[in-house]
Amino acid sequence: MDLSIMQQAIPQFVKAFELTLWLSFVGILGALLVGVCCSLLQYFKVPFLGKVASVYVELFRNTPLLIQLFFLYYAFPVIGIKLPAQVCGIIGLAFLGGSYMAEGFTGGFNGVSQSQLDAGKAIGLNKFQLARYVVFPQGFTLSVPALAANVIFLIKETSIFSVIAIPELTNTALDLVGLYYRSNEYLFMLVLAYAIILIPLSIILTILERKVRYGSFGN
């Protein structure tokens, strides 16, 4: 390994690092939004839209991001929808992530114990009051670990953006490897960059899981 080569590449990696973080942030925000909407549609069993949400969740959860991105970036221009690569990446991440987040929220809502629901009904709450005061507060808490795990998963998925030539971390590193043929140095920096982002997150995830376990009452 050659330290000076790594030093020279730092500015490029910093730029890629920022782009990865930014795309992840916007994509995950979108994913949370899509996920909340879908899980609410499913929870209240909204006619038609609830079914649409279920179909969407199954379709996107069971297909790879790579092919979703190819579809957005290469196939959509054929039917007249042309989007810049980064927009495709964000949309892809938001919709892939949305399906996972929806599962996370739904899992949380289903995790609220029957005794809590029965108690709510016994004091005369109607369906919406039950959702507002019993299911959602506890359900959201219960779904936090799943959501945090999804966040980590989605940040890792941004590495697939490299196939549509978005200059994020993986793409930048592979470009450098191709240019200078110093695979050890650049790949080491790449792994290091992901470690810097993901290790703190995975520690936070462990803490959250422990907190939620304390918070699960009524079981």
The DSSP 8-state label assigned to residue 125 in this structure reads -
Stretch that binds other proteins, among 5-13, 31-39, 135-143, 158-166 (CB under 8 A): 158-166
Radius of gyration of the chain (CA): 21
Q: x/- string (CB under 8 A) for other proteins, residues 188-207? A: --xx--xx--xx--x-----
User: Does 68 engage in binding with other proteins (CB under 8 A)?
Assistant: yes
* Least gap, CB of 214 to other proteins (angstroms): 18
94/103 with CB nearer other proteins: 103
**For residue 194, which of 166, 164, 159, 163 has the smallest C-alpha distance?**
159
Angle between helices 136-157 and 85-111 (to 10 degrees): 150
- The long-range contacts involving 110-118, CB below 8 angstroms and separated by at least 24 positions, are 110/139, 111/138, 111/139, 111/142, 111/143, 112/138, 112/139, 112/142, 113/218, 113/219, 115/218, 115/219, 116/218
Q: x/- string (CB under 8 A) for other proteins, residues 128-157? A: ------------------------x---xx
User: Does 187 engage in binding with other proteins (CB under 8 A)?
Assistant: yes
User: Does 64 engage in binding with other proteins (CB under 8 A)?
Assistant: yes
Q: Residue with structure tokens 């029965």? A: 118
User: Does 160 engage in binding with other proteins (CB under 8 A)?
Assistant: yes
Q: Which H or E run contains 13?
A: helix 3-43
* Among the listed residues 51, 61, 127, 211, the single contact to other proteins using CB under 8 A: 61
Separation CA 37–CA 43 (nearest Å): 10
Looking at the chain, how many residues does it have? Answer: 219
Q: x/- string (CB under 8 A) for other proteins, residues 21-60? A: -------------------------------------xx-
Kindly list the residues in this chain that would bind other proteins in the complex (CB under 8 A).
Answer: 58-59, 61-68, 70-71, 74-75, 78-79, 152, 156-160, 162-163, 170, 173-174, 177, 183-184, 187, 190-191, 194-195, 198-199, 202
